[in-house]
């Protein structure tokens, strides 16, 4: 009788300890990221008479950096949605040699960046792996510009810049090491294509008819690439 009572008392506890923890159907994370990477200005189309002088009449590149807050919701462990709200600062420059004189034209913009990603997620020994796709909205609040001619004072009165909102399509890959029960370290790489930038040169760059030596550049990245690293908390 004593043996039977002991089995009846301990068996349910032993059975419960042998069962794996039930997977949660919903989880989420929130935190902050730092981002840095490169920008691309693609060669505009329909440049008159194959002109390749000043006015970003060709390809260019630059650097970008920023910071963002993020929130991610995960469903049945393998589907996710991420929203990011952050600050982005981007520059574009182009080096041009005119009559043997080296010239560098630069335009920059800064402002808000809002991103949404739909994700496919896989478990990994260290945490999670994921791939994502979604829109990013770049909302600049200010621009700056400069024109440097070798051996001469800056010709900043010859160049001006205009801000314009952009809608990008982002493709991203990421990994998320998990530390303990709560902390995570998100690391991701994103490539984003501008879906709203004009293709024609004269739509991107406005030349003053009264003074062909003055021009205005609409500051938009054709492509940008960002590496992000952050820290967050799992809920």
In this predicted model, what pLDDT tens digit does every residue of 138-163 receive, in sequence order? 999 999 999 999 988 777 789 999 99
87 forms beta bridges with 67, 112
Task: Work out the burial of residue 214: count CB atoms within 10 Å of its CB; fewer than 13 is exposed, 13-18 middle, 19 or more buried.
Answer: middle
Q: What is the mean pLDDT of residues 116-137?
A: 97
Q: Kindly report, residue by residue over 175-188, the tens digit of the pLDDT.
A: 999 999 999 999 99
Q: What is the pLDDT of residue 222?
A: 98
Average pLDDT over residues 4-24: 48
Q: Are 151 and 169 in contact (CB under 8 A)?
A: no
Residue 36's nearest CA partner among 231, 230, 178 is 230
Q: What is the pLDDT of residues 49-82, one digit of tens each?
A: 888 899 999 999 999 999 999 999 999 889 999 9
Is residue 18 very low, low, confident or very high in pLDDT (cuts 50, 70, 90)? very low
pTM reported for the whole predicted model: 0.86
> For 48, which DSSP code?
G
Residue 209 — very low, low, confident or very high, per pLDDT cuts 50/70/90?
Answer: confident
**pLDDT mean over 119-148:** 97
Cα angle 58, 86, 118; round to 5: 85
**Which CATH architecture group holds 25-234?**
Beta Barrel (2.40)
- Cite the beta strand spans of the chain per DSSP E: 26-41, 60-75, 79-98, 101-124, 127-149, 159-163, 166-179, 183-184, 187-194, 205-207, 215-219, 223-234
Asked if residue 10 has pLDDT above 80, the reply is no
Q: How far apart are CA 211 and CA 216, in angstroms?
A: 12
What are the boundaries of each domain within the chain?
Answer: 25-234
Nearest to 166 by CA among 33, 41, 36, 38: 41
Q: Which of 8-17, 21-30, 40-49, 203-212 has the highest mean pLDDT?
A: 40-49
**Edge to edge, what strands does the sheet with 159-163 contain?**
159-163, 215-219, 205-207
Terminal CA-CA length for the chain? 47
Specify the pLDDT at position 4: 45
Quickly count: other Cβ atoms within 10 Å of residue 45's Cβ: 12
């Amino acid at each position: 009788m004593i043996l039977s009572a002991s089995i009846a008392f301990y068996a349910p506890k032993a059975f419960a300890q042998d069962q794996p923890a039930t997977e949660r159907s919903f989880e989420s994370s929130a935190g902050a990221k730092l981002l840095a990477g490169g920008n691309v200005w693609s060669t505009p189309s329909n440049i008159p008479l194959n002109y390749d002088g000043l006015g970003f009449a060709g390809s260019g590149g630059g650097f970008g950096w920023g910071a963002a807050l993020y929130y991610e919701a995960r469903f049945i462990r393998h589907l996710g949605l991420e929203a990011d709200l952050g600050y982005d600062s981007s520059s574009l420059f182009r080096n041009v040699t005119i009559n043997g004189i080296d010239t560098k034209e630069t335009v920059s913009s800064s402002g808000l960046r809002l991103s949404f990603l739909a994700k496919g997620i896989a478990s990994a020994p260290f945490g999670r792996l994921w791939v994502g796709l979604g829109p990013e909205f770049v909302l600049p609040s200010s621009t700056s510009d400069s024109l440097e001619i070798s051996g001469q004072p800056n010709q900043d009165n010859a160049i001006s810049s205009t801000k314009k909102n952009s809608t990008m399509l982002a493709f991203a890959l990421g990994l998320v090491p998990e530390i303990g029960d709560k902390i995570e370290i998100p690391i991701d790489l994103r490539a984003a294509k501008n879906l709203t930038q004009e293709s024609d040169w004269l739509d991107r760059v406005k030349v003053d008819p009264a003074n062909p030596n003055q021009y205005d550049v609409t500051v938009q990245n054709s492509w940008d690439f960002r590496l992000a690293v952050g820290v967050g908390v799992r809920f």
